[in-house]
Amino acid sequence: MMWQRDVDLVVPLWQGGDDVRVAAGAAALARLVPSGGSRLHVSVSDGARDVVDGVRNLDVVASTVRGLRERLARRDPARALTLGGDCVSDVAVAEHLAGRYPDLVVYWVDAHADLNTPASSPSGKAHGMGLRLLLGEGHGRLLGAAGARVAASRVTLVGARDLDRGELEFMRAAGMAWVDPVEVITDPDRVVAGRAPGTPAYVHLDVDVCDPVDLPAVACPTPQGPLVDSVAAALAAISAHHEVVGVGVCEYVPVIEHERAKMEALLGALGLAAPRDASRAAPA
């Protein structure tokens, strides 16, 4: 069954990770995912390539996020899909939906926690700050409105395995739910444990959550992750348990050789493509 939404935003933002290859990911996803009806292609300007206040390419990242917020405020979609782009490309949509649904829960399905601030980030890359922004902390030019924030208790990290020291400390202090890669592999249905059925959910899918052996087409390959089938099972469990109101797909690098069926399996689990068995298309 296809997932219904009001708008698709195609956001080729790459400056947040400073890796231009993810811009092509947005266009490739726009081809893989049949349009939900209304599809907006967002243009990303080529701003100054410098570090400001500890954030790389701050000007262009901030202006892109601001432009997205303005569009979302005008259209006020009840359900929205972002085809990114880096891991900042969908933050404005997640904020918008958090403002609309006070009981929104967020699944951050990603090898990384994206919980850095400009002060804690070793790289200064905004794509490692997205979830922290959604929680209401970060550079003032990237932060959204106070009414569009999510409490840490409403966030579940899924498949995270490469956390910076500051992120780990923050996550533990905040008591954030964390389903580690082994748990995703052994019992993907448990990903929704503790969350009330039928509540609205936002799914941030950074495809680097998958083990790069299975899906190498990512900007930040991170070993020791779950295979695509396990991630797809976890995504299907989220879709079955919740009313999914928003999805963001990020950090896909189509220029790296990979099996297209793996991407289709992930997208299919979220109702964004016809579901199919990824293992069937694997080379014998």
Residues that bind Mn ion (CB under 5 A): 110-112, 206, 208
Q: Which is nearer to Mn ion, 8 or 86 (CB)?
A: 86
Q: How far is the CB of 153 from Mn ion (least distance, A)?
A: 22
| Residues 68, 9 contacting (CB under 8 angstroms) | yes
Q: How far is the CB of 37 from Mn ion (least distance, A)?
A: 29
CA–CA distance, 104 with 120 (Å, rounded to integer): 27
Q: Which is nearer to Mn ion, 130 or 144 (CB)?
A: 130
Q: Which is nearer to Mn ion, 32 or 111 (CB)?
A: 111
Q: Which is nearer to Mn ion, 78 or 256 (CB)?
A: 256
Q: How far is the CB of 128 from Mn ion (least distance, A)?
A: 8
| Residues 65, 248 contacting (CB under 8 angstroms) | no
- 274 is written with which tokens? 């016809």
CA–CA distance, 226 with 237 (Å, rounded to integer): 15
CA–CA distance, 169 with 179 (Å, rounded to integer): 16
Could you please report the per-residue DSSP string of 99-159? HH-TT-EEEEESSS-----TTT-SS--GGGSHHHHHTT-S-TTT---TTS---GGGEEEES
Q: Which is nearer to Mn ion, 111 or 245 (CB)?
A: 111
| Residues 193, 234 contacting (CB under 8 angstroms) | no
Q: How far is the CB of 208 from Mn ion (least distance, A)?
A: 4
Q: How far is the CB of 4 from Mn ion (least distance, A)?
A: 27
